[in-house]
A and B are shown apart, each in its own frame.
Chain A
Amino acid sequence: MREKPSAAGKTFLIIVFSILYAPIFYLIFYSFNSGGTMSGFEGFTLDWYRELLGDTRLLIIVLNTLVIALLSALIATIIGTFGAIGIHSLKKNKGSILGLNNVLIVSPDVIIGASFLILFTIAGMRLGFYSVLLSHIAFSIPIVVLLVLPKLAEMNPSLIDAARDLGASSWDVFTKVIFPYITPGIFAGFFMALTYSLDDFAVTFFVTGNGFSTLSVEIYSMARQGISLNINALSTILFLFTILLVGIYYMLTQRSGLRIGGSFRR
């Protein structure tokens, strides 16, 4: 069974991996091109990075994106964690609540964006920071629930009995037993919420208004106007940032005995 991949198999894998990474390295490579286009490398330059760092508008957008991502992930994690505990404690209707929970996970971004746009308009909300933040919280909650639930399910229910037996109040049970136990799931949920938010384009595109933009939306409008090597420089930085996040994630999963990885991959 554990035979090694054949030569053909290896070639196939190499091709798949090179196609997966080629566009990323293509972007990074041309971010150092003094020629100003993504073809024909003329000479090495750091001008695009310099220009990027000097572009306060873009830096504000980067900041916006990060603030939205961190805030929405944090709030979604809190609401989602309590939601998961609630669902876990339900005796009836667990299935239908979970069904509702999963609607936003399977829904295409366009539908989420369009329906939230209607929602905010009806509610008379100005489109901008708050509508984007609320949307990001909304579409991140279900994934947090789904990552916390398995931890709750795998928790031995007699642990709670044991804690109560030893005199713990409901609050003690939560803070001293349940919460420490599901922490890996909560971290995984926070992390996924973060990536959902950073990665989102479509929903933000629908629910943002004049004067507020996130990176995805900004890149979209820049890209529609054609090639600008500023974007290349930006993507290089973002790539390094992603690698950093992956590294942290990998370390977290290693430390908690692959527990996060397990629930993430499930």
Chain B
Amino acid sequence: MENASIIQFVNVTKTFADDTIVLDNVSFEIERGKFYTLLGPSGCGKTTILRLIAGFIEPTSGEVYFDGKKINHLPANKRQVNTVFQDYALFPHLNVFENVAFGLRIKREKKSVIEAKVKEALSFVNLSGYENREISEMSGGQRQRVAIARAIVNEPKVILLDEPLSALDLKLRTQMQYELRELQRRLGITFIFVTHDQEEALAMSDEIFVINKGKIQQSGTPIDIYDEPINRFVADFIGESNIVKGKMIEDYLVEFAGKRFTCVDGGITPNEPVEIVIRPEDLEITKKGAGKLEVTVHSKLFRGVHYEMTCRDVEGNDWLVHTTRKVDVGDMIGLDFEPEAIHVMRFDESEEDFDRRMEQYTEEEANG
């Protein structure tokens, strides 16, 4: 029976020549047939993970497994993965057909096989008829597709995509997000996608790994990560958040902005200092005195679909609010929110501890 996981990192550390640690004891598993995203700011180590999988670099310590076999020292040209590079890395001296055929020619496939496979790959990315174009004659979006065709034509088990959409303009990027997701479903193979764009990650992925400073901060489905960020970094990096300091009074009761609020989090020591996350879209504007918080409108920006306002409460916390209601700067208003909108984060909680706590108190809830 085939193992569900195709790639496994076990305690992988990567340091560069000048002793900077790019990856710090990272372990994870990648399953077959899913769309993964490695998300993080530049320099966080996400591209290093990709290059370790591709075989361009070797881990300093730890093990990398592919299909159950250790591949630490397997050179890149012997691995069953293919990469779509950030700058596409298309060979400028070869035309579209030859670029796509490159891998097949290396494998010395038959001429007829090459022709058929290249044709199929190009039609997969909607580039049929472009076989004889030079790379220099292709637009950015078309080059992107050639790069994808060049990777998928080799029928790899995993495709690695290193920020492939970052050079495209916004409209094209959105379109390619759909196309890539669709392509992954049709091919049914694993995609590992690297990006620093959280919206892209949320829109496309089955699973997201949020990475910072060489460590995986949190992994999970887009909804999990958005709704239950494990720490300030994740909350801040994914979407827009209001993060304020608070104190856990007891299970399901938290104090911040000088007041106590019912919430849905538990399993935290009483009186432990915590951080509170409330997403801007979860804040509802009410008349003065009618909400849970009293704030003054500080500034206002028109964003097209909504206004983006910063409001300040009596304790000096800033609250970002998205609203379609018209309020003026200087107005005193109330902010209302549901208990479910409050998300409590402990300081320095690891992903394992977080998962354990979640399991525990959700169980308690079910039993009680």
Please give me the residue from chain B that is nearest to A157 by CB atom.
Answer: B89
The answer on a CB contact under 8 Å between B93 and A166 is no
A87 within 8 A of B: no
Contacts of B107 in A (CB 8 A): 167
B102 within 8 A of A: yes
Q: How far is the CA of A188 from the CA of B17 in the complex (A)?
A: 36
The answer on a CB contact under 8 Å between B89 and A159 is yes
The answer on a CB contact under 8 Å between B89 and A156 is yes
The interface of chain B, by Cβ under 8 A from chain A, is: 17, 54-56, 75-79, 81-83, 85-87, 89-93, 102-103, 106-107, 150, 154
A199 within 8 A of B: no
A164 within 8 A of B: yes
The answer on a CB contact under 8 Å between A162 and B77 is no
The answer on a CB contact under 8 Å between B89 and A161 is yes
The answer on a CB contact under 8 Å between A165 and B83 is yes
A177 within 8 A of B: yes
The answer on a CB contact under 8 Å between A166 and B150 is yes
Contacts of B106 in A (CB 8 A): 166-169, 172, 176
The answer on a CB contact under 8 Å between B83 and A161 is yes
Interface size on A, residues (CB 8 A): 18
Contacts of A210 in B (CB 8 A): none
A residues 161-186 touching B (CB-CB < 8 Å): 161-169, 172, 176-177, 180-181
A181 and B92 in contact (CB under 8 A), knowing A158-B85, A164-B75? yes
A residues 63-98 touching B (CB-CB < 8 Å): 91
Contacts of B89 in A (CB 8 A): 156, 158-159, 161-162
* Min CB gap A259→B, angstroms: 11
The interface of chain A, by Cβ under 8 A from chain B, is: 91, 156, 158-159, 161-169, 172, 176-177, 180-181
Q: How far is the CA of A165 from the CA of B160 in the complex (A)?
A: 10
The answer on a CB contact under 8 Å between B77 and A168 is yes
Contacts of B78 in A (CB 8 A): 167
The answer on a CB contact under 8 Å between A161 and B77 is no
A161 and B76 in contact (CB under 8 A), knowing A167-B107, A167-B154? yes
Contacts of A162 in B (CB 8 A): 83, 85, 89-91, 150
* Min CB gap B167→A, angstroms: 13
Contacts of B77 in A (CB 8 A): 164-169, 172
The answer on a CB contact under 8 Å between B102 and A163 is yes
* Min CB gap A138→B, angstroms: 32
Select which of B17, B76, B91, B92 is within 8 A of A165 by beta carbon.
Answer: B76
Select which of B75, B82, B86 is within 8 A of A166 by beta carbon.
Answer: B82
* Min CB gap A179→B, angstroms: 10
Contacts of A163 in B (CB 8 A): 91, 102
Contacts of B81 in A (CB 8 A): 165
Contacts of A165 in B (CB 8 A): 54-56, 76-77, 79, 81-83
* Min CB gap B140→A, angstroms: 15
